[in-house]
């Protein structure tokens, strides 16, 4: 192996506490698989445009690529050997020369209701204020509860929890996965997927590499999770088929039992005035076709002014 304490495998990541936790989880899995020490790896923190701009809603500055551009550049120019991502934040297309097909065992994919005063959505009084920067969560909440006052809540997981404790909102919504990875699940109640369908790929860590780097490809194959891969394959085919952009509230979740994959999908108007859902089952191997077919059906049901 070309990776040694003198020439460690460089793991690129964003600098938020959650991103770092994901990078260290990846490093630890690689250490176990390769039976080598921590000194064979170096975690390289890369600041992205999305991290730098804190004062404007993300939708205004651009699409999902905001959190990945600088990291992918480092991968392409050899500054890092692999990049660790939250798959939820990844666009469906990515630069030529890069490959993203290694997925780790998935954390809890559900959303969590977080509040110091209430236990669940149904407990929120009329007109309560909820904070979220997610278009999907906003649309899903307003669809069920048009009375809620939804306010913009940006920043990393810790920042949002601080805003909540300062009383800026009565409740907020965060991914269970992030809270679990950070050990911050206090005051958090997981929400059933039937009440809030998660974002596509929520809870899943993906590892990107240079397609031409055969040695890294072999190393990553040691830690990949086949179940995660099959689920992501179906969910991301749905996303790709819907031309998902930051402006479109889309939810989707694939689950596997035995040889059967169940795929759920939902699209909403941003103001929550309309929601379209679909659910279908098929063979695990047909996940990508199911995702694409579901996207086509949902699109056909949406009126032209939907997005």
Q: Which residues bind ligand PBG (CB under 6 A)?
A: 86, 88-89, 157, 174-175, 177-178, 202-203
End-to-end CA distance of the chain: 49
Residue 256: CB minimum distance to ligand PBG, A: 18
* Rounded-to-integer distance, Cα 270 and Cα 125, Å: 23
Which CB sits closer to ligand PBG, 177 or 290? 177
For the beta carbon of residue 146, count every other beta carbon within 10 angstroms: 10
Which CB sits closer to ligand PBG, 225 or 297? 225
Which CB sits closer to ligand PBG, 82 or 177? 177
* Rounded-to-integer distance, Cα 114 and Cα 112, Å: 6
* Rounded-to-integer distance, Cα 12 and Cα 202, Å: 20
Residue 192 is among the residues annotated as catalytic for this protein = no
Q: For the chain, what is the total number of helices (H) and then of strands (E)?
A: 10, 13
Looking up tokens 């495998």 gives 9
Beta strands in 54-97 (DSSP E): 82-86
For the beta carbon of residue 92, count every other beta carbon within 10 angstroms: 15
Which CB sits closer to ligand PBG, 88 or 138? 88
| 127-134, long-range: CB < 8 A, 24+ apart | 128/170, 128/171, 129/168, 129/169, 129/170, 130/169, 130/170, 130/171, 130/172, 130/173, 131/160, 131/163, 131/164, 131/168, 131/169, 131/171, 131/172, 132/172, 132/173, 133/57, 133/58, 134/173, 134/199
Which CB sits closer to ligand PBG, 142 or 184? 184
Active-site entry in 28, 51, 89, 147: 89
Active site residues: 89
């Amino acid at each position: 192996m070309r990776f040694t304490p003198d020439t460690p495998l460089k793991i690129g990541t964003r600098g938020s506490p959650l991103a770092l936790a994901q990078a260290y989880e990846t490093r630890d899995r690689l250490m176990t698989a390769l039976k080598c020490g921590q000194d064979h790896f170096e975690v390289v923190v890369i600041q992205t445009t999305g991290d730098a701009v804190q004062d404007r809603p993300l939708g205004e500055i651009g699409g999902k690529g905001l959190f990945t551009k600088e990291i992918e550049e480092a991968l392409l120019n050899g500054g890092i050997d692999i990049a660790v991502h939250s798959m939820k934040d990844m666009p469906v297309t990515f630069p030529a020369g890069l490959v993203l097909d290694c997925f780790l065992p998935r954390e809890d994919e559900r959303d969590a209701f977080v509040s110091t005063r209430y236990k669940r959505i149904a407990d929120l009084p009329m007109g309560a204020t909820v904070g979220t920067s997610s278009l999907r969560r906003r649309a899903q909440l307003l669809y069920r509860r048009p009375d809620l006052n939804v306010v913009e809540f940006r920043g990393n997981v810790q920042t949002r929890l601080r805003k909540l404790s300062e009383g800026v909102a009565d409740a907020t919504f965060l991914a269970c996965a992030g809270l679990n990875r950070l050990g911050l699940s206090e005051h958090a109640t997981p929400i059933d997927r039937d009440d809030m369908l998660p974002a596509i790929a929520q809870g899943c860590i993906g590892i990107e590499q240079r397609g031409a780097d055969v040695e890294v490809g072999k190393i990553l194959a040691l830690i990949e999770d086949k179940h995660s891969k099959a689920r992501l394959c179906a969910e991301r085919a749905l996303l790709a088929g819907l031309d998902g952009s930051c402006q479109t509230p889309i939810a989707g979740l694939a689950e596997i039992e035995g040889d059967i994959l169940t795929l759920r999908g939902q699209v909403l108007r941003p103001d929550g005035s309309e929601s379209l859902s679909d659910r279908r089952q098929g063979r695990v191997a047909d996940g990508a076709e199911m995702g694409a077919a579901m996207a086509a059906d949902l699109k056909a049901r949406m009126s032209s002014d939907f997005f």
